Amino acid sequence: MIAMGLISGTSMDGIDVAIVEIESAPGAAARPRKLKEFATIPYPPDVRLSLLAALAHSGAPKSPYAAARDICALNFALGEAFASAASVVGGSPLRGVDVIGSHGQTIYHLPDDDGAPGFTASTLQLGEPAVIAARTGVTCVADFRVSDMAAGGQGAPLVPYLDFVMLRDQTETRVALNIGGIANLTLLPVGCALDAVTAFDIGPGNMLIDLAVDHHTQGRQGYDRDGLIASAASPDPALLAWLSEHPYFSRAAPKTTGREMFGPEYFTSVLARAATLGCSVEVTIATLTASAALSIASAIPSGVSRIVTSGGGARNPTLLAHLRDALGLRFATPPILDRSDDFGLPADAKEAMAFALLAVECLRGRSANVPAATGARGPAVLGKIVPGENYGSLMRDIALR
C-alpha cells in the first residue's frame, strides 16, 4: 500500500510531505518499506500569519468570538494548504497514493489541568481533512490524537509506534530521540513488546533557539543554521541554571508539552532574564542551545546503548556537540549517537512517515497508540476516516488482504 503522511510541527513554517510504501500483512503490524518521496512545502505567508494571529487570539479572553471565527476559517485554509502540498509532491491529480494520513497543525494542546474552572483535557489540530480528500480524491485519515485522549491519554507522543516497529532491537536498549521544536524520546528496551515502550516530551528542542534567532534577525532568519550563532559564544551559567529550574523538567512521565508552555510568552521571560544577566544575543542563543542538550542528556536513562536522532536538531552540530559533552559527563560509557537515516528513517521525514503508517493501521482497525507513553487506559485505534473518491475500492482492497 502507498500512503502519504502530512504534518506541520511546532515551528509552523511548512508542511512535511512523505510518500511511503507500506508493507501490510494480515495479523502483523504494518511497516514502512521505502520512502518514495519527501519534501517540506512552506506555508503561504498569509496562511502562516493568520495561523500565528489565531494563536495569539487564543490567549485573549476578551475576544472569544473573533478567535472562534478566525479558527473556523483557518481550519479550511489549512486544509487547502495541506491539499496543495500533497499535490506539489504527489502530482495533480494525485495518483498512486492509496491513503493520506494528515496530522494537521496543532493549534492548542491541553492534556493537563491548567487551573481554569471546568477544565477538560483536550487538543485541537487544524487542516480540514474533508478539504484534503475533496481536492486530492484520496481517502484521508486525520485527527489522530483525540482517540488516545478519549481513552485517558495525553494524545502524545504518537511517533513511538513507528519507533517500536522500526527501531527496537534484540541485542541493545535504544532511545529514539527527536529534536524538533520540542525534544522527545522513545525508550525501547532490549527485545521489547509494545507494552514495554515508554516515551515523553523532554522539553524545548529547537523552539526557543528558533524564537531567539527570529527575534535577533527581525524575522530574516528562522533558525540557527548549522549552529553557527551558538558556536560563536559560550553559554551563560546563571541563565543556564535558571532555564533548568522550569518545573516541567521535574514532572514524572507520561508528559507532553508544546507552545502553550514554552512558546512566545515563556520566551519573553527568557529575554527578560537574559537582559538582567547582561547576556548578548549570541550568548543567549548559545545558552538556549546548551540548555536543550542538557535537558536531553538528563532525560536519557541508564543502560541505553544507542541514541537514534532525528528532527531539525539532528542537523545542528553545536547542539550535538553539547549533547555529546553532557552524555560524556553523565555516563562512564556514553551511548552511541546515530541518525535515524541509517535505520530507514530519514531524519527530516520521520514524523511524516509516522502518520502515513498510522493511517494504514487505522484503515485496518488496528490500535497504534502506546499507552505506556501517553498514559491511556488501553489501546486505541487512532484517526478519523474521511472518504475520498477511492474509498470503495480502497476498502475492498483492505478486506481482501
Starting at the edge strand found earlier in the chain, the sheet holding 174-179 runs: 198-204, 182-188, 174-179, 306-310, 336-339
Alpha-carbon separation of residue 318 from 122, 225, 233, 254, 356 (angstroms): 36, 10, 11, 29, 32
d(CA 308, CA 149): 28
Domains of the chain: 2-155+349-400 (3.30.420.40), 160-343 (3.30.420.40)
For residue 64, pLDDT over 60 is answered with no
Q: What pLDDT sits at residue 57?
A: 55
Q: How many CB atoms lie within 10 A of CB 371?
A: 21
The pLDDT tens digits for 243-257 are 999 999 999 999 999
Three cell numbers at 159? 511517533
How many angstroms separate the CA atoms of 135 and 82, rounded?
10
Whole-number pLDDT of residue 31: 95
Average pLDDT, the chain: 94
pLDDT at 60 over 50: no
pLDDT of residue 398: 87
Mean pLDDT computed over 302-309: 98
Q: Name the residue type at position 98.
A: D
Residue 58: pLDDT over 70: no
Over range 228-242, report the average pLDDT.
98
Mean pLDDT of 90-107: 95
22-36 pLDDT, tens digit per residue, is 998 777 889 999 999
> What is the reported pLDDT for 61?
47
Contact 129, 112 (CB under 8 A): no
Indicate if the pLDDT at residue 62 is higher than 80. Answer: no
Q: What is the pLDDT of residue 70?
A: 87
- Partnered with residue 174 across adjacent β-strands are 188, 306
Of the ranges 48-52, 57-61, 359-363, the best mean pLDDT one: 359-363
Is pLDDT at 63 greater than 70 in this prediction?
Answer: no
